[in-house]
Structure 1
Amino acid sequence: MYETHGTVVGTVITTPVTRSGSTGEEFLAFRMASTVRRRDYTTGEWRDGSTLYLTVTCRRRLMSGVVHSLAKGDPVIVTGELRTNEYTTRDGVARTDLELSAIAVGPDLARCTVVLNREPRTVAPVEATETSSTESVSTDSISTEQAAAETLVA
């Protein structure tokens, strides 16, 4: 099918919660709001317009990053696939909800600052014979490049 992709800038308005779907797969869900702001040129003030409310769902690795990074009230930028969900409440009222199945979620750096916590990368150990030959090659190539640069400068 044709998916509708979109990016929404807004604010997290509920605490992210881990849930299970009908297939048993876990996902993370939170609600966000995005309010249009327009400048009133007669008064020079900013005025809030209508607000878009939607549910954001995150799966797999994204779920882990979001659950440890975001909280209610945080400014976010979310991109993913937009779709509507139709459901009936416990009271029997038919409702429609807009859902954004997230591909990427990040803080809105126009409205906050962030300190990144990078996970260390794991590197496979290299055998001793390969290391020594690689070191000599890279040292030779560096000294050759330095000599060439010194020649050009002189």
Structure 2
Amino acid sequence: MYETHGTVVGTVITTPVTRSGSAGEEFLAFRMASTVRRRDYTTGEWRDGSTLYLTVTCRRRLMSGVVRSLAKGDPVIVTGELRTNEYTTRDGVARTDLELSATAIGPDLARCTVVLDREPRTVAPTEPTESASTEPDPAEPTAAETLVA
């Protein structure tokens, strides 16, 4: 199957919701809209063009970050794999939906500001063991010897 990767800049238009897939795995989904803006050079004004609507899904660690960070109305940049889903409504109408399976999601800093809330990084303390020595091993070549060789 061919994978089409893309990046879409737009606005979250629905509240992100956690759902379950057919295999029982959880994912987060929301809808976003991206509207083309063009400048009318005769008047100097910006005009809205057509709007692209798509469903964004995310899984695993990305899902937990999105659920804590995004809400309806937020400006976002989403990168991932684009695909189409074909389905039939309850009324029997055939429909096609564009889905972006996200690999990265972030705020659009051209339209908002953010304050990062980083998790503190924990580094396991390294204690010297009895076999570890601070003295260089005479059998190992030094950096200068390695460069000469």
Alpha-carbon distance between aligned partners in 1 of 2:125 and 2:91, rounded to the nearest angstrom: 61
| SS of match in other structure, 2:140 | helix
**Unaligned regions of 5+ residues in structure 1, if any?**
136-143
Please identify, of 126-135 and 52-61, the stretch whose mean Cα deviation from structure 2 is larger.
126-135
SS class of match (1:131): coil
Task: Tell me how large the CA RMSD over aligned residues is.
Answer: 5.1
Cα 1:27–1:41 change in 2 (3 A) is same
When residues 147 and 90 of structure 1 are mapped into structure 2, their CA distance, relative to the original with a 3 A threshold, is: closer
Q: Where does structure 1 differ by over 3 angstroms across 4 or more consecutive aligned residues? A: 128-135, 144-154
The yes-or-no answer on 1:149 pairing with 2:137 is no
2:2 and 2:18 map into 1 onto residues whose CA distance is: 28
Structure 2: distance between partners of 1:151 and 1:28: 52
Mean CA deviation greater in 88-97 or 60-69: 88-97
Question: Cα distance 1:130–1:33, how it changes in 2: closer, same or farther (>3 A)?
Answer: farther
Q: Gapped runs of 5+ residues in structure 2?
A: none
TM-score normalised per structure 1: 0.83
Say which SS state the counterpart of residue 129 (structure 2) adopts: helix
Offset of residue 126 of structure 1: 2.1
Alpha-carbon displacement from aligned partner over 1:66-121 (angstroms, at most 9, x marks no partner): 00000000000000000000011111111000000000000000000000000011
Pick which of 44-53 and 116-125 moved more. Answer: 116-125
Please state if 1:74 is matched with 2:74. yes
Moved more, 126-135 or 36-45: 126-135
The size of the alignment, in residue pairs, is 146
SS in 1 for 2:130: helix
Q: Structure 1, residues 15-56: CA drift from partner, whole Å, max 9, x if none?
A: 000000000000000000000000001111100000000000
Pairwise mapping of residues 5-154 of structure 1 onto structure 2 (< 5 A)? 5-127=5-127
**Cα gap change, 1:146/1:7 in structure 2, threshold over 3 Å: closer, same or farther?**
same
SS across alignment from 1:63: helix
Q: Distance in 2 between matches of 1:44 and 1:82?
A: 34
Mark the CA change 1:72 to 1:134 in structure 2 (over 3 Å): closer, same or farther: farther
